[in-house]
Amino acid sequence: MAGKKDRREAMVDYQVAARGVRDPHVLNAMREVPRERFVPEPLAEFAYEDTPLPIEAGQTISQPYIVALMLEAAEIQPEDRVLEIGVGSGYAAAVMSRIARRVHAIDRHEELTNLARSRMADLGYDNVVIRSGDGTQGWPENAPFDVILVAAGGPAVPEPLREQLALGGRLVIPVGDAGEQRLMRLTRIDEESFVEDDLGAVRFVPLVGAHGWTNAGRTATHGGGSEDERTVKVVAAHAEALPGIDHPDFAKFVDRFAGARIVLLGEASHGTSEFYRARAAITRRLVEGHGFTIVAVEADWPDAAAIDRHVRGRPTRAPEPPFQRFPTWMWRNEEVAAFIGWLRDHNAKREPVAQTGFYGLDLYNLTASIEAVLSYLDRVDPEAAGIARERYACLAPYGSDPASYGRMAISEGYARCEAAVIDQLRDLFGNARDYAASDGDDFLDAAQNARLIANAEAYYRAMFYGAAESWNLRDKHMAETLELLLAAKGESAKAVVWAHNSHIGDARATDMGRIRGELNLGQLCREAHGDRARLIGFGTHDGTVAAATDWGGAMEINQVKPSLPGSYERLFHDTEIERFFLDLREGVHPDLRSALRAERLERFIGVIYRSDTERWSHYANAALAKQYDGWIWFDHTEAVQALPAHSAQGEKDLFPSGQ
């Protein structure tokens, strides 16, 4: 784990400067102030994340970028006198104190002002004065101020604050109802007039006071019991109750999506049995009844390729059994094994062209991809294999830790292996006609591996530019792989995709897309196929889940906490219907869609689950009806039945591998 200083530098570079904040005063001050000292102890590890965090008194510390944006807009100068309304954690005031001569700050919560005061004292920031009270009245005794910064959103600009602004002074304040706030800057031109600039949409906690909102409930987005109760009723009215997963009619609801080219099936964790079994049942129905012949999953291509050979009764090629890398339980589980067994039986009765293939969309198993390309070329073109071997040798030193390649490339400022992997890909495609003539499926496999290697080379470099860049490369790789599969199987080919909700639910309707600039597979499929791509999300209230506490750690069976009040999950739980499907397609149930378009928390559990910081590790804001075309609910769920990753010598591997 990088040190605090490195993480602070990275925060300023990637979250702030990369988004266009240029003011050197702001950038330098943010490089200096230890943000982890301004959040509650258990959240210190998240202090440099690109997100707001909860602090004492039910308030929040603003996202680093928002602090930077406000401070830059305020054009703080070294000689300025500054007033902050809503000191909260004290972080923004601390940053301003590194730039300006004197900072005055107010918060309505005494608990917060006491904490902020002691933090300033500990850090030796002695030019900050803090008091508690209603900041909408300003601080007349110390006026005028060159800068007034308001860190909470009011219905309008409080009159006293206008009055306490010096000539030429800047007042930065979010204005508007919860969810609809705009960040405004007022610059005082003379006694009477102000220039107003609209700096864009933002979300802040409410400004509560004489010139703000009258009480916190007025603008609280979720506490309004009666509105939630109405939403629960609308959901219950349209929920299509589902029989048990093993019932022959369980997946019948999916018939309405039979005309789609791509049906994407999500999951709210990587370790829940019901999500796997439901996807298997739905996929069976799409394959048997509606002509889907591609099953593409969020797994590494070479590992899935071994399964593909198995389900089609072809001899194995991979030297290693598939899915040996962390997190093994994501694929090595009884639920997936049962589905693979079914697919093999299904294919056994069919001609190769009518068979359904099993493919991986992900790009993490670089070593196996390299081996696969080389062994393919060894068979079809030994001379080309020699050249490829030399090119891929460039990546060999980083095989077990490809992230170290990215680190090296960044520190050298030079993508050492980029040209080699791209040349190799070009050569392979240059010979496509000759190669594919001998065995189309084998060529497709090798070409995908070569493309994966080229994308992975870029992916591991992008990891060091920031989370959004590498995430976007990965999801674009997935979308590209899916398009190539569809193209390879012809005009009428149809695909079922299994991936996490975070890849499938349209990113434009979540914090991912709106705040972090991330796109995803579901969004890309919608953009390319419109209504012919159907996105189905999954959710649960409580139960158990298979997950690790840290990346690379051992699998544990964890209790899933009951869903949070105010979350989408809690609404669905409150319907008291155990299993159901919601049709969210446009025009089907307009009242349901509009009830589920508000931004609420939605839970995302991946291969890691941390219940102690659950709200911050696993919930994000999303507008569910915009994310998905359908939603499947299991109120209570259980962990997947994991199979051993390594079978003892001589013991039969319980997971199908074609070995």
Instruction: Just list the catalytic residues.
Output: 62
Alpha helices, DSSP H, located in 85-184: 91-97, 110-123, 159-163
Query: Which residues in 212-241 contact ligand SAH (CB under 6 A)?
Result: 212
563-567's contacts with Cβ under 8 Å and 24+ in sequence apart are 563/603, 564/601, 564/603, 564/614, 564/615, 564/619, 565/222, 566/221, 566/222, 566/223, 566/228, 566/600, 566/601, 567/600, 567/601, 567/602, 567/603, 567/619
Contact status: 330 vs ligand SAH (CB under 6 A): no
Nearer to ligand SAH, 106 or 428 (CB): 106
Task: Look at residues 534, 520, 523, 539 and name the one whose alpha carbon lies nearest to residue 631.
Answer: 539
Does 135 participate in binding ligand SAH (rule CB under 6 A)?
Answer: yes
- Give dist(CA 310, CA 355) in Å, integer: 12
Query: With helix as H, strand as E and coil as C, how does 278-301 read?
Result: HHHHHHHHHHHHHCCCEEEEEEEH
- Yes or no: say if 86 and 132 are a contact pair by the CB < 8 Å rule: no
The piece of 101-109, 410-418, 502-510, 537-545 that touches ligand SAH (CB under 6 A) is: 101-109
Choose one: 53-61, 220-228, 457-465, 541-549; the region binding ligand SAH (CB under 6 A).
53-61
**Residues 68 and 38: beta-carbon distance below 8 Å:** no
CB 372 within 8 A of CB 384: no
Interacting residues of 377 by C-beta distance below 8 A, sequence separation 6+: 384, 385, 388, 446
72 binds ligand SAH (CB under 6 A): no
Displacement of CA 108 from its chain's centroid (Å)? 34
> Does residue 107 touch ligand SAH according to CB under 6 A?
yes
Backbone region of residue 530 per phi and psi (left: phi > 0; alpha: psi in -120 to 50; beta: other values): left
Give the residue with the Cβ less far from ligand SAH, 62 or 231. Answer: 62
Q: Which is nearer to ligand SAH, 208 or 366 (CB)?
A: 208
Contact yes or no for 183/69 (Cβ under 8 A)? yes
62 touching ligand SAH, by CB under 6 A: yes
Does residue 15 belong to the site contacting ligand SAH (CB under 6 A)?
no
Q: Which one among 16, 112, 295, 596 touches ligand SAH, defined by CB under 6 A?
A: 112
DSSP secondary structure, 10-27, as one string? HIIIIIIGGGT---HHHH
- The whole-angstrom distance between residue 146's C-alpha and the CA centroid of its chain comes to 39
Pick from 92, 239, 299, 605 the residue near ligand SAH by CB under 6 A: 92
Q: Does 106 bind ligand SAH (CB under 6 A)?
A: yes
User: Is residue 61 near ligand SAH by the rule CB under 6 A?
Assistant: yes
CA dist., res. 329 & res. 325, Å (int): 10
49 lines the binding site for ligand SAH (CB under 6 A): no
65/580 with CB nearer ligand SAH: 65
Looking at the Cβ atoms of 105 and 306, the one nearer to ligand SAH is 105
CB nearer to ligand SAH: give 136 or 424.
Answer: 136
Hey, what's the torsion of the CAs at 270, 271, 272, 273, to 10 degrees?
Answer: 120
Using CB under 6 A as the binding rule, whether residue 205 contacts ligand SAH is answered as yes
96 binds ligand SAH (CB under 6 A): no
* Distance of closest approach, residue 448 Cβ to ligand SAH, in angstroms: 46
H or E element in which residue 625 lies: helix 624-627
87 vs 304, which CB is nearer to ligand SAH? 87
- Could you count the other beta carbons within 10 Å of the beta carbon of residue 369? 26
**Distance between CA 144 and CA 161 in Å, rounded?**
9
Interface with ligand SAH by CB under 6 A: which range of 20-28, 103-111, 414-422, 516-524?
A: 103-111
Total interface residues for ligand SAH by CB under 6 A: 26
Q: How far is the CB of 600 from ligand SAH (least distance, A)?
A: 20
Residues 6+ apart with CB under 8 A from 464: 406, 407, 409, 410
Interaction between residue 616 and ligand SAH (CB under 6 A): no
Cβ neighbours of residue 422 under 8 Å, at least 6 residues apart? 454
Stretch of 81-89, 191-199, 300-308, 508-516 lying at the interface with ligand SAH (CB under 6 A): 81-89
Q: Which one of residues 15, 89, 365, 621 is an interface residue with ligand SAH (CB under 6 A)?
A: 89
Q: Which of 169, 174, 209, 537 binds ligand SAH (CB under 6 A)?
A: 209
- Encoded one letter per residue, x for contact with ligand SAH by CB under 6 A and - for no contact, window 142-181 reads ---------xx-----------------------------
Q: Which residue, judged by CB position, is nearest to ligand SAH in the bound state?
A: 88
Residue numbers at the binding site for ligand SAH (CB under 6 A): 59-62, 67, 85-86, 88-89, 91-92, 106-109, 112, 134-136, 151-152, 205, 207-209, 212
